[in-house]
Amino acid sequence: MSTTRELRVGVVGAGMMGADHVARITDRITGATVSAIIEPDEQRAAAAIQASRGAQSFSRIEDALDAGAVDAVLIAVPGQFHEPVLLTTLEAGLPILCEKPLTADPESSWRILEAEQKRQHPLIQVGFMRRFDAEYRQLRELVAGGTAGRLLLLRCVHRNPAVPDSYTQEMLITDSVVHELDIAPWLADAAITSIEIRRGRRNSLSPAHLNEPLLVLIELDDGVLVDVEMNISVQFGYQVATEAVFEAGLARIGQPAGLQLWQDGRFQIAEQQSFRTRFQQAFDTEIQAWIGAARHATIAGPSAWDGYKVAVACAAGVQALSTPGAVPVELPEKPDFYAGA
Ligand SMILES: NC(=O)c1ccc[n+]([C@@H]2O[C@H](COP(=O)([O-])OP(=O)(O)OC[C@H]3O[C@@H](n4cnc5c(N)ncnc54)[C@H](O)[C@@H]3O)[C@@H](O)[C@H]2O)c1
């Protein structure tokens, strides 16, 4: 692949996340252009084509590949549809940014690992964008550096103002806690060994079919305990924050950092309203890093193995929704293929 011309990215799925990535690559990212929109919904496809300033439109990934229209593929269809798009793109040997989750369950994620290992090196980067957030990176460095002593606890909150009716009880784990299942072990440089879920008083403002908030307790293999308040009906705004408790110190990330206003005897600070504002910088950094790596047919972030690990943890988390006590999380040995990823 030429290193001088812009990387031609095909975006598969132009819904909420895909449209966001099209705007990002077109307006803020350097070294790449959106050359193809692969989206069966005509209205969404048309809006994305317009935002991309001239991408070609396809309804199937196979057609975009046959037309030679793309150098790399960004997958932003719902998780249950990732597997066929991943397999087809792997077969073509193109670099991939796959929005989280890798796939919907450990079995299909394992099939992706098997297919990827037929290539020369990893081609799939999974969209766990928190790893590109400046504060999460600082916290990871603090843990690794040990200047505040050893890490003891991670206290996480994940709060949404509200969710659409299509959001299910399982999605509390597979769509939301999924991020903590990647980032907590990454921060601590450790592996998840078990997950337990407790529920107390239900929020009467939650959609009728949901029973939340949840308290998710995650054990890591180095003794660090992680608790996550998963709370999707808080009404007031969007908060993703972590408090890290060390032997000799405390660190907080994800605190409100918007406009501060003193008026009428009150002090106010603007709160985030959605993941898009909270993580805009992280998404931009993630996609810029991926574009740089994809130009050399490689990856610059979480691999398919990381995606597989999270799929296994998610399955345990879903089981823990209906099983009292801690559900163990067991992984097979990491394939050598992913040693450097
Ligand atoms: N990183 C994050 O924080 C974050 C946030 C939101 C969504 N996501 C992920 O982004 C992905 C998309 O989520 P969304 O909320 O944008 O979904 P969405 O439902 O808004 O959009 C999905 C789009 O994909 C299209 N589509 C479905 N099957 C297709 C196929 N086979 N080929 C091409 N297009 C197809 C649909 O027509 C739809 O327009 C999911 O994997 C989701 O988990 C990640």
Task: Return the SS3 of 53.
Answer: coil
**78 Cβ contact partners less than 8 Å away, ≥ 6 residues apart:** 13, 15
Closest C-alpha among 217, 208, 200, 223 to residue 165: 208
Q: Answer yes or no: is the C-beta of 14 below 6 A from any ligand 1 atom.
A: yes
Q: What is the enclosing helix (H) or strand (E) of 339?
A: none
> For the residues 267-292, what does the mean pLDDT come to?
95
The pLDDT value given to residue 3: 53
Sign, Cα dihedral of 196, 105, 70, 17: negative
Residue nearest to atom 25 of ligand 1 (CA): 13
* Out of 13-27, 138-152, 264-278, 314-328, least confident range: 264-278
Cα–Cα distance measured from residue 170 to residue 31, given in angstroms and rounded to the nearest whole number: 38
Q: Answer yes or no: is the C-beta of 129 below 6 A from any ligand 1 atom.
A: yes
Q: Answer yes or no: is the C-beta of 31 below 6 A from any ligand 1 atom.
A: no
What is the end-to-end Cα distance of the chain in Å, rounded? 21
Cα–Cα distance measured from residue 295 to residue 325, given in angstroms and rounded to the nearest whole number: 46
Q: Answer yes or no: is the C-beta of 21 below 6 A from any ligand 1 atom.
A: no
Residue type, 242: T
Q: Answer yes or no: is the C-beta of 18 below 6 A from any ligand 1 atom.
A: yes
Mean pLDDT (the chain, rounded): 96
The pLDDT value given to residue 53: 85
Q: What is the enclosing helix (H) or strand (E) of 245?
A: strand 239-246
Q: Answer yes or no: is the C-beta of 186 below 6 A from any ligand 1 atom.
A: no
Q: Tell me the pLDDT band of 341, cut-offs 50, 70 and 90.
A: confident
Cα–Cα distance measured from residue 5 to residue 252, given in angstroms and rounded to the nearest whole number: 42
Q: Tell me the pLDDT band of 2, cut-offs 50, 70 and 90.
A: very low
Q: Tell me the pLDDT band of 340, cut-offs 50, 70 and 90.
A: confident
Packed helices 134-145 and 280-294: angle between N→C axes, nearest 10 degrees: 80
Other CB atoms within a 10 A radius of the CB of residue 245 amount to 16
Ligand 1 centroid to Cα of residue 297, in Å, is 24
Task: Return the SS3 of 89.
Answer: helix
Q: Answer yes or no: is the C-beta of 316 below 6 A from any ligand 1 atom.
A: no
Supply the pTM of this predicted model: 0.96
Q: Among 16, 166, 180, say which to mutate for ligand 1: greatest number of ligand atoms within 8 Å of CB.
A: 16
Q: Answer yes or no: is the C-beta of 41 below 6 A from any ligand 1 atom.
A: yes
Whether 10 contacts 64, CB under 8 Å:
yes
> For the residues 309-315, what does the mean pLDDT come to?
98
Task: Return the SS3 of 218.
Answer: strand
Whether 229 contacts 157, CB under 8 Å:
yes
Q: Give bridge partners of residue 147 from the DSSP assignment.
A: 149
Ligand 1 centroid to Cα of residue 132, in Å, is 20
Cα–Cα distance measured from residue 202 to residue 204, given in angstroms and rounded to the nearest whole number: 6
Ligand 1 centroid to Cα of residue 57, in Å, is 17
